[in-house]
Every structure is written in structure tokens, then in C-alpha cells.
Structure 1
Amino acid sequence: NLSQKIFVRNYFDDVVRPYIIPLMIEKLPELPYLRDKSLYLAIVMRSRQNAYHEKFALIEIPSRSIGRFVILPSSKGTKAIILLEDIIKFNLPIIFSHFKFNHFDAHVFKITKDAEIDLDQEVGLNFVEKISKGVKNRRKGKPVRFVYDKDMNAELLDYLIQKLHLTRKSSIIPGGHIHNFRHFMDFPDVLVEKQERPSPFPHPAFRNKTQVSEVILKKDVMLHFPYHNFDPVIDMLREAAMDDDVLSIKITAYRLASNSKVINALINAARNGKEVTVFLELKARFDEEANLEWKNIMEEEGVKVLVGIPNVKVHAKICVIQKKVQNKLVQYGFISTGNLNEKTARIYADHCLLTANKALLMEVNKVFNYLSHWQLGDKPIEKTKHLLISPISMRNSIIHLINEEIKYAKQGHPSHIIVKLNSLSDHILLDHLYKAIKAGVKVNLIIRGILTLKEGMEKSKNPINAISIVDQYLEHARVMIFHNKGKEKVYISSADWMVRNLDHRIEVAVPILDEKIKRELIDIINIQLKDNQKARILDTDLNNNYVPSLRAKKVKSQVETYHYLIGKK
């Protein structure tokens, strides 16, 4: 209507126009640098009086600076939303007014560039130099994926394919109009009142502001993010930085916050004379540049930074702090499923075990010893009794645990395996799960991302029960539970069941030895298995239907988990 047209015109002039930089492309032999995963508007302009007079242009849609979704003025009882690109389309006659065109055809597209960093090239460069050069070369990466509006006319599509030098090997995909689904994170709340996420609360062990090390040296503590706040992790490192009795800190880092409190605490520890060693993974995908910068900052402050192993990613989340207590050396630290990132800890659901268990930390130190000495070639990761470590023992250990459940099932004992992961695609482990199911083992899977199933497996006599939970928090934790004749074996892990994690990464899974924590974790997983509001059934038909709400009680697992944990004493 007229009021909406006036709004769109004014919004363009006041908000959008300063960001619009049209690029005339018909005379260019090839397109200039286009940003990876940015949205672009491809435009062909014509005159109705002269169909052969046409020009082509590109406009980057400024969705990084301006919200993608704009609320329009609407009549009472209705809500109208317009896309940012549609505002630009509406104003194309103004943008290109000096050309005197009166017909505009405009469609959105985006490209994804080759982001691989080839560490085998440039043999004259060291590892850090290769990563640094690879990050810079991404700007010149070739497009490997081209997604466009499916109603884009053939002439404009062919023109873009030619200009982008796309080949048949490239993925050329007709899509809808949104393309970047992450923009839905900022979709305006127009239909319901905005639901604020509840604030993280302190773990009961730290409600009295007790020193973290004092608590951990007495008992294990499990933090469940984002329900519990991340403060104890930061506080543990800050306390260690100031504690005269602390001698050293060893820690791994994969993805860090932009103004990382973790790094600040480690730098302060180094300034205070502690021996601080950070195993920083430079190959963390799309965080390479940030991690290179953190490396330089920490090294300038006296932190010893080790930067990973070529062709193997260090994805384990581990830390060991050594201190002197009454002339004795003691250790405490953590093993986690998630990154040391205080920002993502507010939206990623993860588990972090704070512990001073001597047996566990002795084995964590074996991982650190390997990371410190791998270049010498004479320090393989030693065998461990408790930790499952990839690529050394994790796959075989998981197979052994599955086979134990198969044995118990054949003996007539109740047997059950519950696995919660981001992704499960390792065919060797999947085959062992299928064997377990055929032997009568009950198998429940909670998989947020990739799941590779044999066709019809979920419909067989002994079905595999697989769900995915997608709610306001991202389910990032990895948990394995084996019934073990009623004496459950429970692990938290940094690793998904994928070839890359099990064969090409340093990963750590830790058994939960404290019975109270073990029961708490089992309770949380059982709450998730009862979810009938945000859980979907994963099947080979890819229907992904919601779990039917057959129970009288509606169970939204993230809400139930919050209430379960906040009620703990």
C-alpha cells in the first residue's frame, strides 16, 4: 500500500543507501573480489524502447551491517516483513536513475569459495607460515558453490556463470530466496512475545564464592553449560594466575572469544612467573586468522604457544594446573566437550568436568607430553586405562564397550546404549551398533547434525531410535552411556563418531567416576529422550517429523533441564 511504499523509500534513503556501492560488470573481463558467503544482487537493466540496450550490475546486500528483515507499517492485527534485498530492488530506478532504464530484473546469489589450506605446498615455509599464507590466499579462492534464486532468468544465470568462471565441477544450485539461514537468528519477534533466555546460574559448589581450586581438590564438579555460568572456568585460571603456589598451567585452545577472558588470565599467569603452555590449534576452520593473532599476542607476553601437528587437529578440550600444597605437588584441571569460549558457552549446551582425580590427570598429562614432544618422533601417546584418546584408542575402546553390551544381551541381561553426538557417520562404529541392535541391545541416539543410517533400519524388528533436538541452545555435547548390567559406564567426549575425529584428530573422552555426577548426567540425557516438543525423529526417508506428544505432560528438554539443575543443592 501507499504508506508501505513511502516507508520503503524513506528507509532506503535514511538507512540503506550509504551502504550501496553498485558495480558495473559488463565490461569487466572477470568479476572483482566477491566476499565469501555474502549475498549479492545480480541486476540486468533494459530499456523497453530498446531491448538490446542493457547493462549488468552487482550490489552487495549489506546484511552484515543492516538487519535482513525489516518490519513494515501494517494495519491493526497484521504484521508485514520485507527483505532487505526487496527494499533495494524497489529502489533500483533511483540507484540507476542516470542510465534512464525503465526495466530491472534482479536476483540474489551467493558464492562459497574454496577454503582449504594446503599444508603440503610451499615446502620452504614452516607450519605457521603456511597457515598464514593460506588464510591470505582465501581471498583469491576459487568459487566451489554457487547458489542462486531459482526464478533467475536463464540469460542472467549464464552471464554470471561465465563471469565467475564456474565449471561443471562447481556446485551450481538453484535455491529459494533466503540462502543464508543464519539470518533467521535475527528474525523479528512479531507473532509472539520475545522469550528471553534464562540467565545462567552458579553451580551449587560455587554459590558461596569459594575458591575454585579449594572445591575441586575436594571433589569433582560437573558444569553444564549454558545452564551453569562459565565463571568457574575463568575464575580457576584467574586464581591460578595470582596463586603463589601455582607452578604451571597447560591448556588446549581451539575456538576462542574475540576478547577472550581465558587468554587474559593465561597472560596474567605468565606475567606472574607461571610456566604457561597453550596448545593452540591454528587449523580450527575459519578461526585460523584469529588464532594466529592470539599466538602472537601470547608469545609477546611470555606464554609458550605450541601450534598443533600438521595433518592432525588438536580438538581435545583439556587443562592441567600444577600447584604446591604443603610441600606436595597436586594437580587439578578440566576435561570438556566444548570450547574455551565464554560467549558461545551462553548458547552451546556442553559439559565440563572439573577434577583433581590423580588417575585421570596423569593420563591427561600423557596427552600433553605427546603434544610437547611429537616433533622429536619418539613420544607416542602412551596407553591409558581411563581416557579414550583418538587416534590412539578411542575407536577400539568404543567397539569394546559396544561388544560388552552385546555379550550381556546374549546372556539375557538388560542392555542399553545411549549416544549423544553432533554427528555420527563412521561406518565401522555404525556397523557395531547394528550388530548390537540385532543382538537385542536397545540403542538410543541423540544426533544434532549428520547421521548415516542404513535404509529401513529404524523400521526393522529391532529399530534404532534416533532423534535430533533443535531448540534455543545448540546441543554441542558428546555423551556415551553403556548400561553395563546396571553399573553404567558414562563418558563425555570432545569427539563425534566421524572418521575425521577418530582417525585425524587428537580427541579425549573421559569416564565419569563420581556416582552423583554420573547420575546427574544420566538424568539429563533421559530428559532429552523424553522431549516431545523440540525433538524430531531421524529416519532414512528424511521426514524428520516431530516426536509425537503422546504423553499427558509436554516435555521441552532444555526447559526441563534448566529446572532440574537449578533445583540442585
Structure 2
Amino acid sequence: MKKSHPSRLFNRELSWLFFNTRVLEEAENPDVPLLERVRFLSISAANLDEFYMVRVAGLRSQESAGVMEPGAAGMLPSEQLRKINRRAGKIVARQNECWSSLREELFEDRIRVLKMGDLSEVQSESLSKIFETEILPLLTPLSIDPTHPFPFLPNLGFGVALRLEAEDRDPLFAVLPVPLNVPRFIKIETSGKVSGYVAIEDVLRHFASSLFPDFNITETGAFRITRDSGIAVDERAEDLVQHFETLLKQRRRGRVIRLEIDQEMEHTLRDFLVQSFNCDEEMVSNAAMILGLRDVSSLISGGSKDLLFKPFTARFPERIREFDGDCLAAIAAKDILVHHPYEEFDVVIQFLQQAAADPDVVAIKQTLYRTSDNSPIVAALIDAAEAGKNVTALVELKARFDEASNMRWARDLERAGVQVVYGFVGFKTHAKVSLVIRRETTAAGHTLQTYTHLGTGNYHAQNARIYTDLALFTADPIIGEDVGKLFNFVTSYNEPRDLQKLSIAPLGLRGVLEEKIDQEIAHAKSGRPATIWAKMNALVDPIMIEKLYEASQAGVKVDLVVRGICCLRPGIEGLSENIRVKSIIGRFLEHSRIICFGNGHPMPSDQALVYISSADWMPRNLDRRIETLVPVESPTVHNQVLDQIMMANLLDNTNSWELRPTGKYIRVTAREERPRFSAHEYFMENPSLSGRGTALAESAPAPLEDENVPKTQIFRPKLVS
């Protein structure tokens, strides 16, 4: 396929910044509870930190190397960096305004971030005691001269710089690095139910004179650094774990790619820091009202629960309860799709725990891309190995920012007798797969039965409370056989042949997607209904975007739910007028990947082809990662994904934004002909189809079932006029 012309694509970095702006808008949204708005502000700041650590660092490396090859959207690295700085500056300005507003609202709700001048005499005395007993012992004040070099600060390191003067000697510079285990906001005594806090940089500035009693402090300023966090893996490394340990140490010392300083810092201090961190001027930012806004999330614990989202209790699938909690028996009877976070992640944990304890289970194979501290998944695999089962764990060391914990889990698993492999050096294993093999007795004799879990998310219990993901459990022997070939591929380089249902990247997943889009194009050209519905986190791949343009030009109706980066330009006459793109940003982080093809019938229909996947549509996922594309064939699960999940996402007009041809996102609003509908609220209130037991057979209609519209006449959702 021919290469995309730049005008046909949005720049991926700018598209990501627009996504982060949508996150920030939730912090500005008065309909969101106050402390949740603080959380969204923190998330937007943390997102921006990671963006600089990885994406901006990569572009700066390209610029330093003299790369003159424009990206897919036609911009050189230097041009992208200029536009990123402008857009990021606008985001920081809005974060400042948002924080100023939130601080006032927090004050009214008895959560008060105070300046030193705001403290009463009693509070000042209390803070002095806290400083002397809890902060001072951890501080290392440093005067900088030839015998006292500038200290090392880790990534996201924070500190206060000072200029010192004394009689009969030249001025000195000094640094007060903030220790990692000191709170960002120091809690102080207040009356009644008021929670009072003082920012650590204000505390250090106030007490700095006691740390340098022989000097006059003429200038002070807070600063914060962001380091390059990329890792370049050497494929020739003989010991991958040792190699990663070395790389992680190097990452802590990665070059500074962003220096943030407070708005009032004098030029002498600024120049001192720029020289000390070997920064270029374009890496310096003094736009933030308060540095390290990601840390404002620590204020949430000091507030009332009334200022948070109304709590809800995740459901446990009733169908499993009807089998007395026996996950394997319930799966053997019928496929189950668990929809996180609305249904408990404990289903996944119990599935593996029961397999570990079952004497008839002979083998367990598991991928681990991300998992949580004190992981019950890892504990179940260890129990299984110690019980004498054959256990294989495919641990992905290249899971960004989780490398250290994954290495720790790998060692624990190996000590228990688990066969640990690390996949391919050149490919991340991003697929989310568990395979349980059980020896069972049938009328025909003994047989090995497979039970498979295929997910769109991670094996991370905490993430599963926030991320919307899908977990398919099936006893389909063909799926089990295909998954076995997937594991053999990663453990032995033995490419799977004759896969019957599962598609795998980088071998054939892209081809299957293109083939299904081509089939929709053929339906459209033959005058039959032709529709594509897809949900993903990012749409970047130029080849897939061109294929969707081709489908649009043939008359295929395409509705996309893309949470984050989208490089496709929708709604352009002659190119993409049949494509709509929306993004959902709300209480939960949309993370599931779903692809649906009309298959010559109006959508939604029982004849539609439905898939779930671990892969976003990005070159790295389709060409450089181990990913899965899984057909959904069980009628109940098929209806759950298509009629319930995808339909609710398309109808949402509470948390949704529509992408316009210009690249601008417009918030979707309820209208008289379509009342307010929130996908998140719908899923919190209604049980999923495949998890229903017999007692729930009549509950939880699909979003449009009560509108008396025949299924074949359900209209394609019109998001905004």
C-alpha cells in the first residue's frame, strides 16, 4: 500500500497532547466531584511527565543525531519539538488555572494548602517540631564548590536552590534536595475537621537560614528535573536479567530533558541550574505555578468521602456462583466474558488459584506483562509449581516502568521451580493469556482439556479497579490448541502453523484485520450493509488508517472509539466522510480493544463478526509485539460485546468527545431527542450478559432494547449534529 501523504494524518505527539487536554478538562468539569477533579489534575500532570520522559526524549535524541527524515505526518523532529513546547505550555497554563480554582474550592471544603504567612503562631510552632524531628534528619544541605560537586538527583527529582553570601568570600550556590520519602505536602495541626498542608518547598525555604547560619540567603527557587527514561536493549546480551539491571541503573542517570523552575527564580539561580544539569535553554520551563502537580493526589486522603465518586461494588459473575464457585466447571459449561472493573478481577485470580490447587490440572502457562505488588497471580503460579505442576511463565522484562518488579517476580518464580522465559529480545510480549491444561475422564477415556483466559488488559489487581477491560474465559479446544502454539512460538521460536481461530501479531494479525476490512468494502460495493465498529486506545498505524480511508470511500460506515492518540482525520469529503471518531474520558480508563464487522448485515446483528484484542492499531503493536486477536463466537458473549458494550460506548453522551477534521475535539452533549446516557453508569448498574445466572435472566437490557426498535433497524448513532 502506498505511503500516506502527511496531510492525511494527524501528528501522533500533538494528538496525545490533545488527549491529555481532555483528561485535564475532567479536572475542570464541575459535574465531577471535587477530589476526583484533583485526581484528574494529578493524572494530567503525571501523563505529561511520562510524555517528556519517553516521547520528547526520543525526539531530542533524533534532533541531536541530525535526523532529517520527517515523521508520518510530515514534520521533522525539531519542528515537532517546537509545536510540542507550544502545546505543552498551553496545558501547563490551564493546569495553573485549574489548580488555583481547585485550591480555593478545597479551602472551602476544609482542605487547606497554606503558605507560611498564613500559619498561626501555634501552627508555626507545630511545623517547627515536624521539621526538626521528621525532615531535618533526612536532609543533606550542600554548598556547591570544587570539593562539593552538584549532587545527583534521580528522575523527577525535586529540590530548592539557594544563593549564599558572606563577608570576605565570594557568593556560593547551595542545593537542598528533597528526600524521596518526605511528603510533598506536610500536614500540620489545625482546629476541628480542617486538614492543613504546607508544600515541602515552602518549608525548606522557611527553615533554610537555620541550615546555613553563617550565610545570608539572597535568592531561593524550587526546581524539578525530568530525565530520559528510554532503554536501548542490546540483543547480544548473554544474560537478559543482568543486562536489564544495568540498563535500569543507567536510566536513573539518564540525561535531563526538562528542567522546571518556579516562576520567580532569579537569572543567577536559573543559569546555575542550567549549567549544573547541562541543559539547553529550550529544555527550561518556568510556566508552572506549583512544580510537581502530580503530587496533589496526596491531598485526596485528607478529604471527605462525599467529595469522591459514589462508591460501587464490583459484581462476581452469578453463573460461577451457580457452579458453587467452581470457575473451571462454569467455563466448561459456557464461555464467560468478565468486564472489568464492573466485575471482579477476583475471577481471574480464582481461576488460577483453583487450577493451582486442582490435582487434575497438570500444566499452567501464563504471560506476565504487568502485575501488582504482592501479586496473587504470581503467588498462584508459585503454589502450582510447588504442587508439582508444569508451570511456564512468560515474563516481559520490557514492560516500561515495570522492569524492576518484573525481574523480581521472575526470580521468585524461578526459585519455586517455574520455567521462566523472557520472550523475544526484539519483540515485547504484550498478549494477555493464561492456559490451564487439565486431565479429565470422559466416556471415551482420558483426555487433556484446555481452559483459556484471553484478556485485553493486564494481570494487575489494582489497575483492574480503574481500567475497563475484557477477560474471555473459554474451554474451546481449538482456542486452547492455538494458545498452546502461541506459547511454543515464544518459548522455542517455532512459528505456529495452521492457527484455526486465534490471530497473532506480528505474524498474521494485521493481515486478518485488512482482510475483514476488505470484506466490508466488498459488501459496500455490492450494495449490502457495510459497517465497522472498533474500540481501541490508539490509532496510529498509517497502513490501517489508509485501509479505513479506502473503506470510507467505498461507502463502509465506520464508528471508532479511540481513547487516546488518533492520527486518522475523520469527516473529510472524498476521504473519510463515512468515519466518525469519538473518545471517552471519565471515571474509568477505557482500555479494552474491540473490533466488529457487519458482515453484510445491519449493525448490531447476530451475523456480525466480533473480536477482542490485546493490540492497539500502532506499528509497534502490529509489527513488533506479540499480540492476540480473538474471535467472539459464543452467542451470549457475542451479544454482550456488540449489543451491550459497543452500543453503550457509541451512545454515551456524558463522557464523550468527537474528533473533528481539524483535529479539535468537541464534547458530546445530551439533546432532547437523546437524553443523557453514561456508559460507565450503565455498566455499574447492570450485570453483564454472560455473567448472568438463572435468577438474572430477565435483567440488564441492552442500551436500546427498551426503545421498541427492531434490532435490524437500530440506527447508527449520530454523535453530534
TM-score of the alignment, normalized to the shorter chain, above 0.5: yes
Shift of 1:388: 2.0
Partner of 1:491: 611
Cα distance between partner residues in 2 of 1:248 and 1:324: 9
- Following superposition, the deviation at residue 53 of structure 1 comes to 6.1
1:159 maps to what in 2? 272
Q: What residue number does 2:670 align with?
A: 549
Supply the distance in 1 between the matched residues of 2:510 and 2:487 (Cα, whole angstroms).
Answer: 20
Q: 1:269 to 1:124 in 2, by over 3 A?
A: closer
* Aligned with 1:328 (options 447, 454, 477): 447
State whether structure 2 residue 163 is matched by structure 1 residue 24: no
Identify if the C-alpha distance between structure 1 residues 319 and 80 changes in structure 2 by more than 3 Å, giving closer, same or farther. Answer: closer
* Aligned-pair CA distance for 1:380: 1.5
Work out whether residues 417 and 444 of structure 1, in 8 Å CA contact, stay in contact via their aligned partners in 2.
yes
Counterparts of 1:58-457 in structure 2 under 5 Å?
A: 58-61=175-178, 65-66=182-183, 68=185, 84-85=199-200, 87-88=202-203, 91-96=206-211, 98-101=213-216, 103-120=218-235, 123=236, 125-149=238-262, 152-167=265-280, 171-178=283-290, 180-188=292-300, 189=303, 193-208=307-322, 209-326=324-441, 327-374=446-493, 379-454=494-569, 457=572
**Bigger RCO of structures 1 and 2 (CA < 8 A, at least 6 apart):** 2
Q: For residue 104 of structure 1, what is the amino acid of its counterpart?
A: E
- Among 507, 514, 535, the alignment partner of 2:656 is 535
User: Structure 1 residue 506: deviation in Å?
Assistant: 0.5
Distance 1:32 1:204 in 2: 58
How far, CA to CA, are the matches of 1:481 and 1:14 in structure 2?
62
Q: 1:88 to 1:455 in 2, by over 3 A?
A: farther
TM-fit CA distance, 1:540: 5.9
Aligned-partner Cα distance in 2 for 1:138–1:259: 25
Letter in 2 for 1:359: I
Could you state the TM-score of these two structures normalised by the residue count of structure 1? 0.89
Distance 1:57 1:307, change over 3 A: same
- Residue deviations 1:348-391, cap 9 Å, x none? 111000000112111111101111212xxxx2232423222100
Q: Which residue of 1 aligns with 2:592?
A: 477
Deviation at 1:274, TM superposition (A): 0.5
Structure 1's 520 and 83: CA in aligned 2 closer, same or farther, altered over 3 A?
farther
CA gap of 1:219–1:104, structure 2 versus 1, over 3 A, is same
In structure 2, relative to structure 1, the CA distance for the partners of 1:520 and 1:139 (3 Å cut) is same
- 1:3 CA displacement: 5.5
Match of residue 72 from structure 2: none
Is the contact between residue 92 and residue 104 of structure 1 (CA under 8 Å) also seen in structure 2? no
1:41 pairs with one of 159, 162, 166: 159
| Letter paired with 2:142 | M
Deviation at 1:203, TM superposition (A): 1.2
Listed one character per residue, the Cα deviations across residues 201-244 of structure 1 (whole Å, up to 9, x for unaligned) are: 10121234421011111110000111111122111111111211
Match in the other structure for 2:101: none
Number of equivalenced pairs: 558
User: Any conservation in 1 of the 2:229–2:252 contact (CA below 8 Å)?
Assistant: no
The C-alpha deviation readout for 1:259-317, integer Å capped at 9, x for no partner, is 01111111111111111111111111121111111111111111111112111111111
SS of residue in 2 equivalent to 1:484: coil
214-223 or 96-105, larger mean C-alpha shift? 96-105
2:640–2:688 contact (8 Å) kept in structure 1: no
The whole-number CA distance in structure 2 between the counterparts of 1:65 and 1:97 is 21
Deviations along 1:459-500, one digit per CA (max 9) or x if unpaired, are 977153222222222211111111212321111111111111
Per mean C-alpha deviation after superposition, the further-off stretch among 335-344 and 403-412 is 403-412
1:516 is aligned to 636
Give 1:117 shift. 3.5
Contact 2:364–2:436 (8 Å) recurs in 1: yes
Deviates more, 1:539-548 or 1:314-323: 539-548
Q: Secondary structure at the match of 1:545?
A: strand
**Identity %, equivalent residues:** 28
CA distance in 1 between partners of 2:255 and 2:447 (Å): 58
Alignment deviations for residues 522-544 of structure 1 (CA, whole Å, 9 cap, x no partner): 21122122222222233465543
After superposition, the Cα gap between the structure-2 partners of 1:219 and 1:69, relative to the gap in structure 1 and judged at 3 Å, is farther
CA distance in 2, matches of 1:14, 1:556: 49
Q: Secondary structure at the match of 2:333?
A: coil
Whole-angstrom CA distance in 2 between matches of 1:543 and 1:180: 28
* TM-fit CA distance, 1:554: 1.9
CA distance in 2, matches of 1:448, 1:66: 33
The amino acid of 2:668's aligned partner reads V
Q: Which runs of 5+ in 1 are unaligned?
A: none
- DSSP 3-state at the match of 1:485: coil
User: Separation in 2 of the partners of 1:464 and 1:25?
Assistant: 61
Q: Find the residue that maps to 2:686 and give its secondary structure.
A: helix
What amino acid does structure 1 have at the position aligned with 2:665?
N
Indicate the larger mover: 107-116 or 493-502: 107-116
Distance 2:126 2:232 in 1: 42
Relative distance call for 1:94 and 1:203 in structure 2 (3 A) is: farther
CA distance in 2, matches of 1:251, 1:388: 18
1:413: how far off? 2.4
**3-state DSSP of counterpart to 2:668:** coil
How big is each residue's C-alpha offset from its partner over 1:81-132, in whole Å with a ceiling of 9 and x where there is no partner? Answer: 8662453266245554614525433133222234314324xx4633232222
Q: Which residue, out of 174, 197, 200, partners 1:57?
A: 174
| Distance in 2, Cα, partners of 1:330 & 1:297 | 28
Corresponding residue for 1:503? 623
Give the Cα–Cα distance (whole angstroms) in 1 for the partners of residues 599 and 196 of structure 2. Answer: 54
Please report how far the alpha carbon of residue 71 of structure 1 lies from its aligned counterpart in structure 2 after TM superposition: 9.2
Q: CA deviation at 1:63?
A: 7.4
Structure 1's 212 and 14: CA in aligned 2 closer, same or farther, altered over 3 A? farther
> What one-letter code is carried by the residue in structure 1 that aligns with 2:163?
M
Which residue identity is paired with 1:294? W
After superposition, the C-alpha distances for 1:16-65 in whole angstroms (9 at most, x for unaligned) are 56335254253157532211123x23423356x99996443333446764
Structure that is richer in helix per residue: 2
Cα RMSD between the aligned structures? 3.2
Q: Read off the aligned partner of 1:506 and give its amino acid letter.
A: I
Which deviates the most, 480-489 or 310-319? 480-489
Equivalent position amino acid for 1:371 in 2: V
